[in-house]
Amino acid sequence: MTIRSTVLITGASSGIGATYADRFAKRGHDLVLVARDKVRLETLAHQLRKEYAVNIDVLQADLTKVSDLETVEARLRNDEKIGVLINNAGAAQSGGFIEQTGENISHLVSLNITSLTRLASAAAHRFSQAGDGTIVNIGSVVGLAPEFGMSVYGATKAFVLFLSQGLNLELSSKGVFVQAVLPAATRTEIWERAGIDINTLAEVMEVGELVDAALVGFDRRELVTIPPLFDESRWEALQTARQALLGEIRQTHAAERYQPAS
């Protein structure tokens, strides 16, 4: 009998997180569901236990609060049954950069960067020691596109992609797989919470289709999964161009165009 690892999912009360919970429960995995809304978590847990006969723990936590974040970190460090972390909790923004308050910026960075990184760190330490484990970080195509105008949000998602790629280089030899998932606009509550009317967006993917596509990438051990990207060669070309650019960087002297005129 195959023993499936427990999956810890943040932001699990709705949207992408709740859909991941459904899909992994359907696969027979026990779950640890993390979010602020305990009532919604309990409702989801009850439904999934009944439908799939899996064990589910509910862990109420606001990941922008240090004490709550430390509780989830401890669970990742100490629960040897957990073999998959779905780092999904996050927030979006509305308005331009100069319209953001310091409090809004701090909240966005705390949730999208600090908590995600600390949870990945907590999981990575134990996974690398065990020689097995998976971290899935939910980013966004906005992290590739400053043209979209969501400067702080996009910057946090660019961080998620960079972190995921870096962790793969560091941890793959230790048996840890790290996947970055980059959705485009997806029909979830994140937009409403950010004060954005999703009905004003021209194209929106349904959350079930997004997660199912991400899981195809997960099963293939794909390092970066971009469900709405139809031409995969575009991503490959971007990576090739980036490597070529790095190969042209010389550290000893500034390029000729930056040399002072004699």
Positions annotated as catalytic residues are 153
* Full domain range(s) for residue 149: 6-258
Measuring CA to CA, how many Å separate 116 from each of 47, 73, 85, 157? Answer: 27, 10, 10, 11
Residue 1 resides in a domain:
no
What tens digit of pLDDT does each residue of 183-212 get? Answer: 987 776 666 665 666 676 677 889 999 999
Which of 111, 122, 14 has the alpha carbon at shortest distance from 65? 111
What tens digit of pLDDT does each residue of 140-185 get? Answer: 999 999 988 889 999 999 999 999 999 999 999 999 999 999 998 7
Cβ neighbours for 10, distance < 8 A, ≥ 6 positions apart: 17, 34, 35, 63, 72, 86, 87, 88, 89, 115, 119
Sign of CA dihedral 144, 146, 151, 155: positive
CA torsion 119-228-202-186 (nearest 10°) is -30
- Give 82's strand partners: 6
Packing angle between helix 207-219 and helix 15-26, nearest 10 degrees? Answer: 50
* Residue 225 · residue 182 · CB < 8 Å: yes
- Give 133's strand partners: 176
Assign 3-class secondary structure to 150-218. Answer: CHHHHHHHHHHHHHHHHHHHHHHHHCEEEEEECCCCECCCHHHHCCCCHHHCCCCECHHHHHHHHHHHH
Domains of the chain: total? 1
* Residue 56 · residue 81 · CB < 8 Å: no
How far from the centroid of its chain's Cα atoms is residue 39's Cα? 24
Residue 135 resides in a domain:
yes
Residue 103 resides in a domain:
yes
* Residue 81 · residue 62 · CB < 8 Å: no
The pLDDT assigned to 185 comes to 75
Per-residue pLDDT of the chain (262 residues), as tens digits, is 567 999 999 999 999 999 999 999 999 999 999 999 999 999 999 999 999 999 999 999 999 999 999 999 999 999 999 999 999 999 988 778 998 899 999 999 999 999 999 999 999 999 999 999 999 999 999 999 998 888 999 999 999 999 999 999 999 999 999 999 999 877 766 666 656 666 766 778 899 999 999 999 999 999 999 999 999 999 999 999 999 999 999 888 899 899 998 7
Q: How far apart are CA 207 and CA 195, in angstroms?
A: 19
SS3 (DSSP) at 129: helix
Packing angle between helix 15-26 and helix 38-52, nearest 10 degrees? Answer: 20
Cα angle 92-97-98, degrees, rounded to a multiple of 5: 135
The pLDDT assigned to 194 comes to 59
The pLDDT assigned to 197 comes to 63
Name the residue type at position 235: W
- Give 84's strand partners: 7, 134
CATH number at residue 196: 3.40.50.720
Q: How far apart are CA 104 and CA 63, in angstroms?
A: 15
- What's the predicted TM-score (pTM) here? 0.92
The pLDDT assigned to 35 comes to 97
Cβ burial of 121 (10 Å; 0-12, 13-18, 19+) is middle
